[in-house]
Homo-oligomer: A and B are copies of this chain.
Amino acid sequence: MRFSEFALTTLKEVPADAEIVSHKLMLRAGLIRRLASGLFTWMPLGLRVLRKVEDVVREEMDRAGALELLMPAVQPAELWQESGRWDKYGPLLLRMQDRHNRDFCFGPTHEEVITDIARRELRSYKQLPVNYYQIQTKFRDEIRPRFGIMRAREFLMKDAYSFDADEDGMRRSYERMHAAYTAIFERLGLRFRIVDADSGEIGGSRSQEFHVLADSGEDAIAYCDDDDYASNIETAATAPPGGARPAPAQELEAFPTPGVKTIQQLCELLDITPDQTVKTLIVEGDDVPVALVLRGDHELNAVKAQKLDGVASPLTMAGDAAIREAIGAGAGSLGPVGMPLRVYIDHAVTALADFTCGANEDDLHYKGVNFGRDLDEPETVDIRNVVAGDPTPGGQGTLSIARGIEVGHIFQLGSKYSDSMGATVQDENGKNRSMQMGCYGIGISRIVGAAIEQNHDDDGIIWPAPLAPFDVVLVPINMHRSDDVREAAESLYAELSDAGLDVALDDRDARPGVKFADAELIGIPHRVVIGDRGLARGEFEYRHRRDSESRDLKREEVLELLTESAVSS
């Protein structure tokens, strides 16, 4: 591609509404342009990257025996009513009516449509397993779209759905997708982790997420390199602490704490650390509020807590008025001693002796609190986020925490949809059985953003080779004045293109500095500068995007280096 014919428009300024680096760089490099909130056009440069992701995903899905089809974006409400999600899905679902006032939605996912297809097409266990997939445009009406294409409203997904005659088959289909996804992210050249995850609104029994590791990731991942354990922090389990609790050393004592509203203030007042305190959070319950008790330095885990008996889902903090009505004190002075509500105590709290907590009376706390004396020995639950240093569930090591961007998610759905929508096949004995389903998503467009979050520097994007819009950019110096430069550039352009490389020839009538800056911003892996001085020595100036310095190479060396990199990518 000649840049003179590519309508490239890069921006020097950082767009005001872009919060994260991938969003900024995608706008600056001209990969995307904003149409409206959460709606983006993929410009020619960005689409080249998107298609590279798409191609790798398609190849690995095909290799795994999945069958590509293409379902409509617009879906009739009837199917969503059948599955029960028309009412449940809420305002994320973009709803519309056609000219005959029939209800439709712009599909955010396709479980209903594919289950409808499967119940018509698949009648016998002999036809199974089948795994249908598509690469298709979806819409989620996010309340606050942001981060560019990372949390856009319209986006490109690969979604796959497997159908099996029994649970063993479903698990085999799931493992095939696990392997295919691993191959995909490896081929894309991204550092990633596979983590255990919550199934959320999709439902089903088991699920795992694929995260691209990046400091800016929205998700926290708990992992242990010693025993392969990795989990989204949402679902990473904690175990009851081992070992014996210290014996009580202090008497229970109530003491005034005027103005103390936070654990930090409490610690400063008493010169103690947060892990010697417990905090009590009041959340809405099915009928009445519920108290959740954690060690002062720990964070509540909403996904775990909202599964507790009597706790409302999704988890909602109780309001000040409700707290005061139920307990007679405000949120700054609560504690488990004498708590009139149902109390859930986190595992970690059980290891504490002589701890400090609120006294359920405004401006009053207790210190020297001990289980078995001041309150009953607790039955504890797991309601906190793991932290670095926690033991792994297997006990072989300790956890580290990393940040990740979710780019893939695989689910064992079981018969959730096939039951509600009557998707059955005849088994060996002629009996109708619900098919066992799995579903498997990859955020095609999100991968582009995640790759940039993981691979960039101050000058711009640094594409992993398999994602780069061009493999190499040729930058001729004064091409419009020097025939030697023009001929050398054109000849290299032709030869590298013939070798199967995606070559950009920056033949724009622009200053070299502009061309260099654009090449770095766009993140093309290899750069070859062609100038009169180098040509006089028979040399080109080569630099890899990750190198700090360029080096001079003979023409054959350039060809060898680039064609080898093409083979290996």
Residues in chain A within 8 A of chain B (CB atoms): 5-7, 9, 33, 35-36, 39-44, 46-47, 50, 65, 67-76, 91, 94-96, 98-99, 104, 106, 113, 116-117, 120-122, 127, 130, 132, 137, 139, 141, 143, 153-154
Q: Are A50 and B70 in contact (CB-based, < 8 A)?
A: yes
14 new A-B contacts, CB < 8 A, other than A73-B137, A94-B98, are: A5-B65, A7-B121, A7-B127, A7-B130, A9-B121, A35-B71, A36-B72, A39-B74, A39-B76, A43-B69, A73-B73, A95-B96, A96-B106, A99-B143
How far is it, in angstroms, between the C-alpha of A153 and the C-alpha of B333 when the chains are bound?
61
Cβ A44 vs Cβ B65 within 8 A? no
CB of A73 within 8 A of CB of B33, answer: no
CA distance A36 to B105 in the complex (A): 12
Residue with the highest number of chain B CB atoms closer than 10 Å, among A6, A74, A104: A74
State the oligomeric state as a number of copies: 2
Neighbour of A137 across the interface among B40, B94, B137, CB < 8 A: B137
Please name all residues of chain B whose beta carbon is closer than 8 Å to the beta carbon of A95 when the two chains form the complex.
Answer: 96
Contact B70 A36 (CB under 8 A): no
A117 adjacent to B41 (CB under 8 Å): yes
Please state if A35 and B69 are interface contacts (CB–CB under 8 Å).
no
**A143 CB contacts on chain B under 8 angstroms:** 99
Closest to A62 in B: B1
Q: How far, in angstroms, from A76 to B154 measured CA to CA in the complex?
A: 13
Instruction: Tell me the bound Cα distance from A99 to B40 in angstroms.
Output: 18
Question: Does B7 contact A67, Cβ atoms closer than 8 Å?
Answer: yes
Partner of A73, one of B5, B9, B121, B154: B154
Residue among A35, A68, A75, A143 with max Cβ neighbours from chain B (10 Å): A35
Contact A91:B99 (CB < 8 A) given known A39-B72, A130-B7, A153-B74: yes
Q: Which residue of B lies closest to A66 (CB)?
A: B44
Query: How long is the Cα–Cα vector from A439 to B171 in the complex, in angstroms?
Result: 50
Query: Residue among A47, A72, A91, A106 with the most chain B CB within 10 A?
Result: A72
**What are 7 of the A-B contact pairs (CB < 8 Å)?**
A7-B130, A39-B72, A43-B117, A43-B121, A74-B153, A106-B106, A137-B137
Contacts of A96 in B (CB 8 A): 94-96, 106
Taking the closest CB of chain B, its distance from the CB of A105, in whole angstroms, is 9
For residue A127, which residues in chain B have a CB less than 8 angstroms away from its CB?
Answer: 7
A71/B41 contact (C-beta < 8 A), A65-B5, A99-B143 known: yes
A33 touches B117 (CB 8 A): yes
A74 and B33 within 8 A (CB) = no
Q: How far is the CA of A40 from the CA of B141 in the complex (A)?
A: 24
Q: Are A76's CB and B36's CB within 8 A?
A: yes
Q: How far is the CA of A317 from the CA of B328 in the complex (A)?
A: 79
Determine the chain B residues whose CB is within 8 A of the CB of A44 once the complex forms.
67-69, 132
Contacts of A154 in B (CB 8 A): 72-74
User: How close is A277's CB to chain B, nearest CB, in angstroms?
Assistant: 41
- Among A94, A99, A106, A113, the most chain B Cβ lie within 10 Å of the Cβ of A99
Contact B5 A35 (CB under 8 A): no
Q: How far is the CA of A98 from the CA of B143 in the complex (A)?
A: 10
A58 to chain B, nearest CB (A): 10
Question: How many angstroms from the CA of A1 to the CA of B106 in the assembled complex?
Answer: 33
Closest B residue to A91 using CB positions: B99
In Å, the complex CA distance between A163 and B9 comes to 16
Rounded to whole angstroms, the CA-CA distance of A42 and B396 in the bound complex is 49
Residue of B nearest to A110 (CB): B41
Residues on B with C-beta less than 8 A from A68 are 44, 47
B41 & A141 in contact (Cβ 8 Å cutoff): no
**Shortest Cβ distance from residue A129 to the other chain B in the assembled complex, whole angstroms:** 9
Taking a contact as CB atoms under 8 Å apart, the answer to whether B98 and A141 are in contact is yes
Q: What's the minimum C-beta distance from A127 to chain B, rounded to whole angstroms?
A: 6
Q: Name which residue of chain B comes closest to A5, CB basis.
A: B65
**Known: A7-B67, A95-B96, A106-B106. Is A72-B117 also a contact (CB below 8 A)?**
no
Write out the residue numbers on chain B whose beta carbons fall within 8 Å of the beta carbon of A9: 121
**In whole angstroms, what is the CA distance A95 to B96 when docked?**
7
A65 to chain B minimum Cβ distance, whole angstroms, is: 6
In contact, B74 and A139 (Cβ under 8 angstroms): yes
Give the chain B neighbours of A7 by CB distance below 8 A.
67, 121-122, 127, 130, 132
What's the minimum C-beta distance from A54 to chain B, rounded to whole angstroms?
Answer: 11
Contacts of A46 in B (CB 8 A): 69
Q: In the assembled complex, how far is the CB of residue A53 from the closest CB belonging to chain B, in whole angstroms? A: 13
Known: A39-B74, A106-B74. Is A99-B69 also a contact (CB below 8 A)?
Answer: no
Closest Cβ neighbor of A98 among chain B residues: B141
CB pair A121–B33 under 8 Å, yes or no, is yes
Q: Which of B33, B47, B139 is the one whose CB lies under 8 Å from A120?
A: B33
When distances are taken between beta carbons in the complex, the residues of chain B under 8 Å from A137 are: 73, 137
Contact among B47, B116, B139 with A70 in the assembled complex (CB-CB below 8 Å): B47
Alpha-carbon distance between A116 and B68 when the two chains are bound, in angstroms: 34
Give every chain B residue within 8 A of A98 (Cβ-Cβ). 94, 141, 153
Question: Which residues in B have their C-beta under 8 angstroms from that of A35?
Answer: 71-72, 75-76, 113, 116
Question: Do the beta carbons of B6 and A67 come within 8 Å of each other?
Answer: yes
Q: How far is the CA of A153 from the CA of B7 in the complex (A)?
A: 33
Is the pair A70, B42 in contact by a Cβ cutoff of 8 Å? yes
Residues of B within 8 A of A91 (CB): 99
A69-B47, A76-B35 given; A41·B113 CB < 8 A: yes
Contacts of A41 in B (CB 8 A): 69-72, 113, 117
